[in-house]
Chains A and B, each alone.
Chain A
């Protein structure tokens, strides 16, 4: 175990979308629409509601953390050892919307070992871990 393995990281994707926040909100919160762009689900726009996103490759366990219609939606996203939070932010811009998604969280140590084994480079990744831990 070291700091590199448990460090919180995040990924941010942002896009200007040529539709108003209200329309995007529907696509983010109505199960039959979520299914069309993300995954099958039993989402409900209710704080603390637990739901599952499922695809052929497996499923993601989620729980609604924050919900402010047409502005903010946050839920937990736990899958394959990745414990994270996904936050959607909608900001009106002219006739469209600035849509921002931030996923932040961490992946436990064993997950990185799994990644190493997957590429047949486990030993290399162990060395890499030590090197990265010393690098900062």
Chain B
């Protein structure tokens, strides 16, 4: 759970990458070329950022001829805005502590 969190935070920690992702959220599917036109960096750099976003589950790609189209996976952000992620970790650790206690308790 925290590894997935780390990947999300890492992916979104870079302003250029965040701008690319926000643009996909706002404007829908885009090709690498279209994204490069307004990113202020070269196409290979945009491709590299997209690869990081893809690894974090934040975008998915679709190949069509020579073009690759990218779409934002908005649902991948849910853990960041969701208290359940935080509490799930808490309860898992409490279950561990409860099991330890049960082993120490008298019948």
Contact = CB atoms under 8 A, between A and B. Distances in A.
A and B interact physically: yes
B21 to A, nearest CB: 10
A93 interface: no
Interface of B: 9, 12, 18, 22, 25-26, 74-75, 77-78, 80-84, 87-88, 91-92, 94-95, 97-102, 105, 107
Contacts of B105: 23, 26-27, 33
Q: Size class of A's contact patch?
A: 20 to 34
Summarize A's interface: helix, strand, loop or mixed. helix
Given A23-B107, A131-B25, A135-B75, A11 B102 contact: no
Nearest to A103: B87
Interface of A: 4, 9-11, 13, 15, 17, 19, 23-24, 26-27, 33, 36-38, 82, 99, 101, 103, 107, 111-112, 115, 119, 121, 124-125, 127-129, 131-132, 135
